Amino acid sequence: MQYAVRRPLLTWLKAQPVAGRRVLDVGCGDRPYEPLFAGAAEVVGFDRPGNPYADIHGSIEAIPVEDASFDVVLCLQVLEHVPDPGAAVRELRRVVRPGGLVLATTHGVYPFHPNPEDLWRWTDTGLERLFEENGEWSSLTVTPGAGTALTVAMLVAHLADLFFKRAHVRPLGAPLVFALNAGGEALDRAVPLLRAPVPGSLNANFHVAAVG
């Protein structure tokens, strides 16, 4: 189910300049992207109290680090879970150095998944506005992750998975989910309009790159 989010996110993250830089991973979870940052000078994981993978703990509205102390600040699949996304973006801006990079991702269209809560969904222009209103940036880009075909495939796959799970034969659904993801991805690749955020588009996820 996460293919539509994780696959484009991996490709995007791999292209980011982290070599030799100090990286803060805000809402790091179990740090699934750590291998991509092997060349970084340091990667500090931050998450809520109780997360054993985090180096430092707290809540995103008050990250316990100095102003402008990181070159790259990650906030991947976290904003949809926080009560005050504006306060969160202000903290991301505070902790990144001038000229440093904030990389944030969050959902457009996606099933409900509380962790501990699931509060928000976005459009590309809504995310742009959230960042513009809560920080000064020298550049800001918001791009879709999955296009419309892969996003629709994800939703159909989600429904199929629910059905197979309810019938206690979940593994039987795996080939269908695989085929849906592959078909959706191929269609998005073949038709550029399906990858663009235009009226009528559906996007599972958005990628924000903001330079402080």
Ligand X SMILES: C[S@@+](CC[C@H](N)C(=O)[O-])C[C@H]1O[C@@H](n2cnc3c(N)ncnc32)[C@H](O)[C@@H]1O
Judged by the rule CB under 6 A, the positions of this chain that interact with ligand X are: 27-29, 32, 47-48, 51, 59-60, 76-78, 81-82, 115
Whole-number minimum distance, CB 127 to ligand X, in Å? 16
CB of 156 to ligand X, least distance (A): 22
Residue with smaller CB distance to ligand X, 47 or 71:
47
Name the residue with the smallest CB distance to ligand X.
Answer: 29
Could you tell me the smallest distance in angstroms from the CB atom of residue 182 to ligand X?
23
Q: Give yes or no for a contact between 180 and 157, defined as CB atoms under 8 angstroms apart.
A: yes
Q: Is residue 108 within a helix (H) or strand (E), and if so which, with residue range?
A: none
Choose between 77 and 201: whose C-beta lies nearer to ligand X: 77
Alpha carbon distances (Å) from 172 to 74, 117, 157, 161: 36, 30, 12, 9
Running DSSP on this structure, what letter comes out for residue 20? T
Nearest distance, CB of residue 198 and ligand X, angstroms: 27
Which residue's CB is nearer to ligand X, number 4 or number 28?
28
CB of 142 to ligand X, least distance (A): 18
DSSP string, the chain: -THHHHHHHHHHHHTS--TT-EEEEET-TT-TTGGGGTTSSEEEEEESTT-TT-SEES-GGG-SS-TT-EEEEEEES-GGG-S-HHHHHHHHHHHEEEEEEEEEEEESS-----SS-------HHHHHHHHHHT---SEEEEEESS-HHHHHHHHHHHHHHHHHHHTT-GGGGHHHHHHHHHHHHHHHHH-GGGGS--TT---SEEEEEEE-
User: Closer CB to ligand X, residue 29 or residue 197?
Assistant: 29
Nearest distance in Å: CB 199, ligand X: 29
- Nearer of residues 49 and 192 to ligand X, judged by Cβ: 49
Query: Between residues 32 and 183, which has the closer beta carbon with respect to ligand X?
Result: 32
